[in-house]
Amino acid sequence: MRIGILGGTGPAGTSLAARLASIGYPAVIGSRSKYRAMEARDALAERWPALADSLQYGDNHAAADCDVVVIATPWDSAATTAQEHADALAGKVVISMANALVRVGHEFQPLVPPRGSVAAHVQAAIPRSRVVAAFHHLPATELGQIGEPIDSDVLICGDDPAAVRTVSDIVANIPGCRPLDAGELSNATAIEAFTAVLLQLNVRYKTRVAPKLTGIKQS
């Protein structure tokens, strides 16, 4: 299963690409400019030569041609980027990971995008795709430190149960991560907004937090 990453040259996109490649998923870093994607891919391959064969690059069209596609653009271009590739993404599992946040002074504030969440906005832009929200709470730096487990639960929500399972299977392969089924895509509103609280805690405690939920026995 090849996983494409639209707008994948930022910290979240490159960290995810490296992590996915490290657990056996060939990843295609996409960008509006394939040269920027090449630069991002080569930087990763230089850092982790063993992953070079599993890390590819291309324009966003190349990323959208993959089996599963992640949208890793800034939140305010997630829906428009998805819509530009609506035909290529039709029928596919599309992962939305962006959070609509703004920094106000020392505080992070969640914004309310159209339809309540970035994920719901993306789903409305590509109605033929099966959008799943995931990866919102993972700190990008830790996500990119491949070889080190991430001690975190990953909340996953979406309206297509099979699509949620596909993403859960991917997450379950990341060492230390536990996928949790958080229900319908409407729950992305609260999941995305909660990221502002986590970033707030990062500032306050000079760390990078990740959530775990006690009380769930399933591993």
Contact residues: its own copies, CB under 8 A: 106-107, 109-110, 139, 151-152, 155, 180-184, 186-187, 189-191, 193-198, 200-205, 207-218
Instruction: State how far the Cα of 193 lies from the Cα of 208, in Å rounded to an integer.
Output: 17
Q: Tell me the closest approach of the beta carbon of residue 107 to its own copies, in angstroms.
A: 5
Q: Tell me the closest approach of the beta carbon of residue 105 to its own copies, in angstroms.
A: 9
Which residue, 9 or 152, has its beta carbon nearer to its own copies?
A: 152
Residue 104, CA distances (Å) to 101, 108, 209 in order: 10, 6, 20
Which residue, 56 or 152, has its beta carbon nearer to its own copies?
A: 152
The greatest distance separating any two alpha carbons of the chain, rounded to the nearest whole angstrom, comes to: 47
Q: Tell me the closest approach of the beta carbon of residue 216 to its own copies, in angstroms.
A: 5
Single-letter amino acid code for the residue at 200: Q
Q: Tell me the closest approach of the beta carbon of residue 87 to its own copies, in angstroms.
A: 31
Q: Residue 77 contacts by C-beta under 8 Å, 6 or more apart in sequence?
A: 7
Q: Tell me the closest approach of the beta carbon of residue 134 to its own copies, in angstroms.
A: 13
Instruction: State how far the Cα of 63 lies from the Cα of 210, in Å rounded to an integer.
Output: 28
Which residue, 27 or 138, has its beta carbon nearer to its own copies?
A: 138
Which residue, 60 or 187, has its beta carbon nearer to its own copies?
A: 187
Which residue, 4 or 139, has its beta carbon nearer to its own copies?
A: 139
Residue 192, CA distances (Å) to 33, 101, 149 in order: 28, 9, 23
